Structure 1
Amino acid sequence: MEKYEDLLVSLRKIIRSNDLYSKELAKKAGVTGPQLLILKQISRTKVISPKELAETLNLSQGTITSIIDRMQDRDLVTRIRSQTDKRRFNLSLTEKGEVLLESAPPPMQDYFIERFNRLEDWEQTQLLAAFQRVASMMNAQEIEPQTNIEQ
């Protein structure tokens, strides 16, 4: 097998692992990976605007709005109108959202971050450079990260 084939197989395994974890998360906790990340971020800040949430999670506001709409329909989050500008609103968790978050398993990214942080600094830098290069080789450097996020 050529080296590029091995690399493509590894990329497919990463994508598949993410999909499987998100499906398992949906089955166990009733939320997808992106929804769990949003719940965690809202919980950390208590109240956050959709724009701040999008910037923090590196997602588009359209993606955030779509996910928040579904989460609001399920009574996991609530929109609170701004007192200073009625066109704006902030997000906060409902009691149901807090309960779900407490019982949900950690997002897959937590496992990755834990293992990544155990690497030596030079290994972290090498991985970062390699993945940035792969993204560039796949013409993906300009694609926003939410492109493959399940909603």
Structure 2
Amino acid sequence: MDRVDNSLIALRRIIRATELYGRDLKQIAGITAVQFRALQIIGEKGYATAKEVSTRMRVSQATVTSLVDKLVRENMVTREKSETDRRQTDICITEQGRDTLENAPDPLQQRFVRKFAAMEDWEQTMLQAMLERVASMMDAEDLDASPVLDTGDIKH
């Protein structure tokens, strides 16, 4: 096999691993990887604003609204008026949301983060540059994307 085929196989393996993780997470926890990441951010303090989640996930507030709507329907979070600022709405994690965080499979991106952090600085720099180059080669450098490994839909 040549380098082109090996590179395409490696890309397909990454995509496939992401798909399989997403399927497992949906089956076990009932939510997508992107919804899970939003739930993690909310769960850190027990609450967050849509703006906080949007900033951390690097997605629009409209996307966060859609994610939170789904989490509310699944009884993972609630929306409550802020006690400190009546103009603001807090997104609060529920007991079911906490249970989901505890019992869900280890997020794929967290596995990546642990292994990436263990690499030497020069290796991290080289890998980042190569991944950015691959994104550019696929005309994907300008796509809106959060740091969540997921192949599901994100509304823009």
What is the TM-score with the length of structure 2 in the denominator?
0.86
CA distance in 1, matches of 2:90, 2:11: 37
Q: C-alpha separation between the residues in 2 aligned to 1:126 and 1:137? A: 16
CA distances 1:92-118 after superposition (whole Å, capped 9, x unpaired):
101111122122222111111111111
Structure 2 residue ranges without an equivalent (≥5): none
In the alignment, structure 1 residue 141 sits paired with structure 2 residue 141: yes
Match of 1:150 among 144, 149, 152: 152
Long gaps (5+) in structure 1:
none
Tell me by how many angstroms 1:28 deviates: 1.6
Mapped partners of 1:6, 1:79: distance in 2: 48
Q: CA RMSD in A?
A: 1.9
Structure 1 segments of 4+ aligned residues over 6 angstroms from their partners: none
CA deviation after TM superposition for structure 1 residue 34, in Å = 1.3
In the alignment, is the contact (CA less than 8 A) between 2:18 and 2:151 conserved in 1? Answer: no
Residues 19 and 151, structure 2, Cα contact 8 Å, conserved in 1: no
The one-letter code matched in structure 1 to 2:137 is M
More helix, by proportion: 1
1:16–1:137 distance in 2 versus 1, CA, 3 Å: same
Q: Figure out how many residues of one structure are paired with residues of the other and give that number.
A: 150
Between the aligned partners of 2:118 and 2:80, the Cα distance in structure 1 is 40
Counterpart CA distance in 2 for 1:42 and 1:12 is 32
Is the contact between residue 79 and residue 89 of structure 2 (CA under 8 Å) also seen in structure 1?
yes
Report the TM-score, using the length of structure 1 for normalisation: 0.88
Paired position in structure 1 for 2:112: 112
More contact order relative to length (CA 8 Å, sep ≥ 6) = 2
Q: Please tell me the residue identity of whatever aligns with 1:96.
A: Q
Report what 1:123 is aligned to: 123
Amino acid at match of 1:150: G
1:85, distance to aligned residue in structure 2 (A):
4.7
Maintained 8 Å contact 1:34/1:149:
no
1:18 aligned partner, one-letter code: T
Corresponding residue of 2:89: 89
- 1:150 positional shift: 2.2
1:25 is aligned to 25
- How many angstroms apart in 2 are the aligned matches of 1:63 and 1:20? 23
Measure the CA separation in 1 of the matches of 2:69 and 2:151.
16
The aligned residue for residue 35 of structure 2 is 35
Q: Distance in 2 between matches of 1:62 and 1:145?
A: 14
